[in-house]
């Protein structure tokens, strides 16, 4: 085996080998090569070797490029050989035009919190009707519990979840069930605790750019070619070595790069090359509403496949839950604005944002709807609330069913958060396991963050460092069979079945749909395709009486008793649709 380490400005590097009990042992000197690299070889050894690196007599430190950190981010690094016996040779990858994404935090999705514990759940995901599982960040982070956005060992799947072999087993099993797997990758910042990059080079970070997390990663200054390769080879690894079907790029707007080509252009290119013929998907979380992200490179775009478009979430949350503080101040929640957001894909297309104090967004019409990822809840929108409460805690069950119906019958790519399909009641709180000093700062910062919101009192915010905060966030799968949740699950299964099988709903290109208000408190989303048209009529509040065209038939109603609703009579009578309070109806029009 061979080590190769980049350490500009340093004179002496050594590999320190560690024994099975964690004790340091033999030391191997490293030889300096051109380009500020140091190398060393160890004959007759390979997988399982544990080591650290000593730099000019300092350390030894973990290897920030290591493929495994079995004892955590501060422990010895471990050599991993990608020799897994894959069984997914017939897997061709994802179809980005017809995805239904299901977001998962591995540590809270099951009581055990591991990849292997998720494998028995794969059948349920497939039967639900999702196509793609999106895993929150997997890179090793400090401690035993974390959202994953504090990752510091990019190449080392968390040992807490099951490490490299556990991830390979999970993805292989997912493919056997016909499910794709996306990995949430964080390239806009690296976590502070266990971050040893600066021990090797001053060029990993730059003070020329700044992010909300401090100095930016150096993607365009001195030494940036190696820093960029850190990310691009990480992309290669997830797609090539682990057979992942794509990436979700966290906060892509904070990946600052003034060079050309932009790193965001190189990432999808490397991902597709690493897939070796499989179809892969790269999606950006980005709050700029910028179509350039998903525009083809030949049309002066960056070539990504999708963009998280949160405007629809904010409009619906404002309408049904009444949220108005923070970024919700930019949204009215009116049926006119909800309809406009549905027509376009996002709401802001260049208007001035009150929150950002500047123009935001570009016209969305150049992108087909599948490029836009819509949701009514995700890890951020739940976990970044003071109590980590889900949507179901703030809206009625009827409103939850209505919002879900609109989400899953729209032409856009829907994203669900774990347990959403049965309106799970368990919170998803913000939790960490940092060292005591950093943990205290995180707790204080979290409580200060919510002190200015009228709905929250800072002292009531659960301590992110407390073990209870993590355990409270564990998903309770037993809820799904309880009467108050089973109806919602039946609704989700039926909506996703229609989405996959109904020809009209499969026609999801621009020009095949429209949305418009119906009075002050309702709206209609019309889908057109082979055989006629379907209307999704959503009532936000109050009563609605709407005369339908002759021959219209009720195909689904969110308040049916089988979905948990209390009504036993059809809302359609004599050609008039009557909805009382939050609800949604799917109506089939004659062709």
Would you list which residues are annotated within the binding site for substrate?
248-253, 310-314, 379-384
The partner residues of 442 in beta bridges, in order of sequence, read: none
Distance CA 495, CA 570 (A): 18
DSSP string, 429-470: -------HHHHHHHHHHHHHHHTT-TT--GGGSPPTTSHHHH
Residue spans of alpha helices (H) in 212-283 = 224-236, 263-274
Annotated binding residues: 248-253, 310-314, 379-384
DSSP single-letter state for residue 140? E
Distance CA 101, CA 135 (A): 10
Catalytic residue chosen out of the listed positions 285, 330, 463, 559: 285
Residue 227 C-beta-side C-alpha neighbours within 13 Å = 27
Distance CA 228, CA 233 (A): 9
Distance CA 420, CA 495 (A): 14
Distance CA 272, CA 22 (A): 39
Structure tokens at 581: 């309070």
Structure tokens at 283: 């999606």
285 classed as catalytic: yes
Angle at 130 between CA 524 and CA 85, to 5 degrees: 160
Q: What 3-state DSSP class applies to 416? A: strand
Residue spans of alpha helices (H) in 324-457 = 335-344, 379-383, 397-409, 436-450
Q: Say which residues have a Cβ less than 8 Å from residue 180's Cβ, sequence separation at least 6.
A: 93, 94, 99, 131, 132, 133, 174, 245, 246, 281
Catalytic residue chosen out of the listed positions 103, 245, 250, 463: 250
Distance CA 198, CA 203 (A): 8
Please list the active-site residues: 250, 285
């Amino acid at each position: 085996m061979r080590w190769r380490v980049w350490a500009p400005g340093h004179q002496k590097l050594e590999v320190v080998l560690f024994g099975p009990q964690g004790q340091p042992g033999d030391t191997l000197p490293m030889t300096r090569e051109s380009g500020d690299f140091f190398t060393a070889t160890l004959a007759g050894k390979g997988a399982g070797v544990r080591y650290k690196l000593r730099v000019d007599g300092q350390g030894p430190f973990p290897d920030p490029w290591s493929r495994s950190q079995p004892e955590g981010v501060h422990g010895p690094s471990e050599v991993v050989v990608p020799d897994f016996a894959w069984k997914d040779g017939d897997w061709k990858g994802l179809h980005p035009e017809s995805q239904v994404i299901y977001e998962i935090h591995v540590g809270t999705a099951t009581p055990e919190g591991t990849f292997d514990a998720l494998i028995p759940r794969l059948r349920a995901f497939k039967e639900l009707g999702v196509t793609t599982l999106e895993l929150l960040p997997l890179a090793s982070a400090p401690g035993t519990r974390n959202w994953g956005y504090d990752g510091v060992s990019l190449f080392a799947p968390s040992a807490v979840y099951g490490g490299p072999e556990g991830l390979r087993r999970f993805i292989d099993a997912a493919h056997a069930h016909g499910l794709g797997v996306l990995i949430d990758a964080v390239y806009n910042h690296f976590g502070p605790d266990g971050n040893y990059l600066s021990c090797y080079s001053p060029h990993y970070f730059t003070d020329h750019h700044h992010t909300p997390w401090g100095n930016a990663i150096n993607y365009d200054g001195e030494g940036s070619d190696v820093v960029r390769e850190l990310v691009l080879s990480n992309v290669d690894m997830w797609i090539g070595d682990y057979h992942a079907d794509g990436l979700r790029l966290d906060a892509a707007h904070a990946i600052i790069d003034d060079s050309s080509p932009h790193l965001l252009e190189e990432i999808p290119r490397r991902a597709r090359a690493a897939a070796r013929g499989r179809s892969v998907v790269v999606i950006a979380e980005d709050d700029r509403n910028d179509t350039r992200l998903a525009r083809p490179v030949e049309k002066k775009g960056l070539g990504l496949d999708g963009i998280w478009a949160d405007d629809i979430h904010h409009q619906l949350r404002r309408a049904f839950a009444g949220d108005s503080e923070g970024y919700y101040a930019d949204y009215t929640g009116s049926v006119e604005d909800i309809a406009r957001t549905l027509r376009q894909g996002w709401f802001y297309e260049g208007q001035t944002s009150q929150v950002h104090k500047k123009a935001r967004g570009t016209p969305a019409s150049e992108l087909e709807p599948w490029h836009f990822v819509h949701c009514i809840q995700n890890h951020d929108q739940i976990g970044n609330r003071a109590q980590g409460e889900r949507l179901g805690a703030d809206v009625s069950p009827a409103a939850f069913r209505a919002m879900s119906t609109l989400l899953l019958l729209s032409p856009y790519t829907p994203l669900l958060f774990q347990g959403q399909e049965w309106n799970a009641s368990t919170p998803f709180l913000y939790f960490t396991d940092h060292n005591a000093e950093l943990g205290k700062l995180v707790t204080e910062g979290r409580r200060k963050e919510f002190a200015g919101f009228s709905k929250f009192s800072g002292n009531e915010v659960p301590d992110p460092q407390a073990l209870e905060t993590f355990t409270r966030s564990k998903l309770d799968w037993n809820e799904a069979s309880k009467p108050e949740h089973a109806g919602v699950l039946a609704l989700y299964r039926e909506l996703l079945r229609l989405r996959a099988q109904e020809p009209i709903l499969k026609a999801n290109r621009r020009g095949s749909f429209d949305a418009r208000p119906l009075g002050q408190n309702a709206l209609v989303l019309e889908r057109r395709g082979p055989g006629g048209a379907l209307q999704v009529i959503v009532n936000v509040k109050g009563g609605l009486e709407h005369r339908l065209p002759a021959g219209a038939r009720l195909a689904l109603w969110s308040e049916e008793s089988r979905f948990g609703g209390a009504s036993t009579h059809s809302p359609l009578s004599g050609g008039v649709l009557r909805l009382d309070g939050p609800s949604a109806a799917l109506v089939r029009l004659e062709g």
